[in-house]
Chains A and B, each alone.
Chain A
Amino acid sequence: MRALAPAVFFGCAALATVVVRDAFFLDSVVLILIWGTAAAAWNVAGGYAGQISLGHSAFFGIGAYAAALVVTGWDASPWLGLGLGALIAMAIGLVIGYLSNRLRGPYFVLATIAFSQVLLIVGSRWRGFTAGSEGIPVPFRPGFWTLGIADKRVWVWILLGLALLAYLVGLYLERARRGYQLVAVREDEDAALSLGVPARWLKVAAICVSAALTAACGALWAQYVGFVDPFYVFSVDLSIRFALAAIIGGLGTALGPFLGAALVTTVETFLRAQFGGIGGELVGIYLIVYGCALIVMVRWVPQGLVGWVRERLARGALGRAAP
């Protein structure tokens, strides 16, 4: 069962490239993979290490800008931008990680929000470097190396690669020594320290990995969409989207963030199609649904979808074992 669910999920995404021709449907698959990977990246810090950040759009934006600026400024490959963005995000992750050892709980959350908003100001005002609030259109140059890819099926494959990487990081944390230790830090940092767990550097390492993966998502997103808008990539909305998908799917589970992202993205797309459009009065209704979903999950299903299913299965197994 444990191996089946992820196989079905990623298998369906791969299968879509073969059977589906509908651009709208493929676009949804791409977005689910991007948001799922970003949520899985967020989950490394927020779910396993318990360092709840609402400023992860900072890393996403850094990746997006790095990829776009490397193309427009240096005329180099966006893949280089992806690597550069991931490195810069890791360096900033070190700073945020340092903060996580100074600030706990809500103070850490506030610091992360502030951080992403500082980057928003930098991105929207430093015209000479970032093109300011107009944003950066990413030139379309056909080819894999330049990521000028019109065929959405290819995008599905590229993102599937990154998604699997993020999933494997989660799987590693579910099973390996460092994962157990990280969860112990989340549950009770002082108790973990007393048991010899190097809590401080584990938290910093988790935040760095999370930052790098988020930046990689941002870089690919920028190339896929073809436009970087500072008010979108550095927004708190985006940070909440990552956190929400991970919380709905299941904090501290490898597959959870992907399921959460699939659900959130599907519902959002549906609501936009239903109530959006020109002259639509209920364009923003998906935000209300986000809010309600968050309240319902945190109040009644805090363990998320994956945790909920696991509990049912465990109960079922116990029920069968009992005479």
Chain B
Amino acid sequence: MSLLSVAGVTKRFGGVVANRAVSFDVAPGELVGVIGPNGAGKSTLFEIITGFYRPDAGEVRLDGARLTGLAPDVICRRGIARTFQKLRPFQGLTVLDNVMVGALTRTRDVRHARARARELVGTVGLADKAQAHARTLSTGQRKRLELARALATEPRILLLDEVTGGVDQRTIPDLVRLVRELHAGGLTLLVIEHNMRVITAVAQRIVALHLGEVIADGPPDAVARDPRVVEAYLGRAYVP
């Protein structure tokens, strides 16, 4: 039984087809990577799963229940949380308050939410920044903040858009370790990632998109060697 199921999702923007009949499943406890060159339709797919875009065809189901057509906030309460590729922390709020907004989706009690938020701020390694305003954080710290905020909504599946993008090389291993720990703790994850080394190391399965279509779906090393994936990234000349 799959936890998340994407079936025949198509999305057009005028004449451009961003997603064409995209289908794949994510099983409970799985960590699935989504790769593809720029413009492959990865982010559009995330926007559709989280309800920010409505697909022209196809549907998304969570544990068998149809999500397509629901508003983003309802989808979050159903159990899908996300981070944004272009980070969107609440700039004027402190780190703790940012995470509290997520926690308050699951509890009405502000004190309880604060305690939960403090815990998660520690989990992502921002304990010493809890009272700092989000706008004062570095990119790596903002990524951690978005992660904590999304986790606070107690998702059944977490969608990460570009975990390591825009982060300096020394910070990448820390973020990767954090994602691994979350997965080891039982969380199901769907992760968009540009860094092939990172994604082949953490993902159990990879879905490759190219020009809006799924061109490969399987174990990381198989997908990385797939001629169609190599061609999509490097061009026909590099296909062995």
Residues of A near any B CB (own CB < 8 A): 175-177, 180-181, 183-184, 187-188, 190-200
A187: which B residues are within 8 A, CB to CB? 90-93
Q: Are A183 and B90 in contact (CB under 8 A)?
A: yes
Q: Are B101 and A193 in contact (CB under 8 A)?
A: no
Cα(A99)–Cα(B113), bound, Å: 32
Q: Are A176 and B105 in contact (CB under 8 A)?
A: no
A interface footprint on B13-54 (CB within 8 Å = 1, 0 otherwise): 000000000000000000000000000000000000010100
Cα(A195)–Cα(B149), bound, Å: 8
29 pairs from A and B in contact (CB 8 Å cutoff): A177-B110, A177-B113, A180-B100, A180-B110, A183-B90, A184-B93, A187-B91, A187-B92, A188-B89, A188-B90, A190-B72, A191-B84, A191-B88, A192-B73, A192-B90, A192-B101, A193-B52, A193-B76, A194-B50, A194-B72, A194-B76, A195-B73, A195-B81, A195-B149, A196-B77, A196-B105, A197-B101, A199-B73, A200-B71
Cα(A135)–Cα(B152), bound, Å: 55
Cα(A107)–Cα(B191), bound, Å: 37
Report if A193-B90 is in contact (Cβ < 8 Å); known contacts: A175-B110, A180-B110, A181-B101: no
B150: which A residues are within 8 A, CB to CB? 194-195
A-B contact count (CB 8 A): 76
CB B210 to nearest CB in A, in angstroms, measures 27
For B78, the closest partner residue in chain A by CB is A196
A interface footprint on B84-102 (CB within 8 Å = 1, 0 otherwise): 1000111111000100111
CB B154 to nearest CB in A, in angstroms, measures 10
Q: Are B110 and A195 in contact (CB under 8 A)?
A: no
For A200, the closest partner residue in chain B by CB is B71
In order of increasing CB-CB distance, the 4 nearest A-B pairs are: A196-B105, A196-B76, A187-B90, A193-B72
Q: Are B84 and A194 in contact (CB under 8 A)?
A: yes
Contact count band on B: 20 to 34
Answer whether residue B108 sits at the interface, using C-beta atoms and an 8 A cutoff: yes
CB B118 to nearest CB in A, in angstroms, measures 15
A175: which B residues are within 8 A, CB to CB? 110
B77: which A residues are within 8 A, CB to CB? 196
Report if A197-B105 is in contact (Cβ < 8 Å); known contacts: A177-B113, A180-B100: yes
B72: which A residues are within 8 A, CB to CB? 190, 193-194
Q: Are B88 and A190 in contact (CB under 8 A)?
A: yes
Cα(A226)–Cα(B51), bound, Å: 53
CB B113 to nearest CB in A, in angstroms, measures 7
For B154, the closest partner residue in chain A by CB is A196
A176: which B residues are within 8 A, CB to CB? 110
Residues of B near any A CB (own CB < 8 A): 50, 52, 71-73, 76-77, 81-82, 84, 88-93, 97, 100-102, 104-105, 108, 110, 113, 149-150, 152-153
CB B103 to nearest CB in A, in angstroms, measures 9
Q: Are B76 and A184 in contact (CB under 8 A)?
A: no
Q: Are B101 and A190 in contact (CB under 8 A)?
A: no
Q: Are A195 and B102 in contact (CB under 8 A)?
A: yes
Q: Are B90 and A191 in contact (CB under 8 A)?
A: yes
Cα(A191)–Cα(B113), bound, Å: 18
B91: which A residues are within 8 A, CB to CB? 187-188
A192: which B residues are within 8 A, CB to CB? 73, 90, 101
Cα(A193)–Cα(B70), bound, Å: 12
B101: which A residues are within 8 A, CB to CB? 180-181, 184, 192, 195, 197
A195: which B residues are within 8 A, CB to CB? 73, 76, 81, 101-102, 105, 149-150, 152-153
Cα(A188)–Cα(B97), bound, Å: 14
A191: which B residues are within 8 A, CB to CB? 84, 88-90
Give which listed residue, A184, A188, A193, contacts B71 with CB less than 8 A.
A193
For B105, the closest partner residue in chain A by CB is A196
User: 15 more A-B contacts (CB under 8 A) besides A183-B92, A191-B90?
Assistant: A177-B110, A180-B97, A181-B104, A183-B90, A187-B91, A188-B91, A192-B90, A194-B52, A194-B150, A195-B73, A195-B81, A195-B101, A196-B105, A197-B105, A200-B71
Name which of B52, B89, B104, B150 has the most chain A CB atoms within 10 A of its CB. Answer: B104
CB A194 to nearest CB in B, in angstroms, measures 5
Q: Are A190 and B52 in contact (CB under 8 A)?
A: yes
A199: which B residues are within 8 A, CB to CB? 73
Report if A177-B104 is in contact (Cβ < 8 Å); known contacts: A195-B149, A196-B73, A196-B77: yes
For B79, the closest partner residue in chain A by CB is A196
CB B213 to nearest CB in A, in angstroms, measures 26
B50: which A residues are within 8 A, CB to CB? 194
For B109, the closest partner residue in chain A by CB is A177
CB A249 to nearest CB in B, in angstroms, measures 17
Q: Are A180 and B84 in contact (CB under 8 A)?
A: no
A196: which B residues are within 8 A, CB to CB? 73, 76-77, 102, 105, 153
Cα(A72)–Cα(B52), bound, Å: 52
Name which of A176, A184, A187, A195 has the most chain B CB atoms within 10 A of its CB. Answer: A195
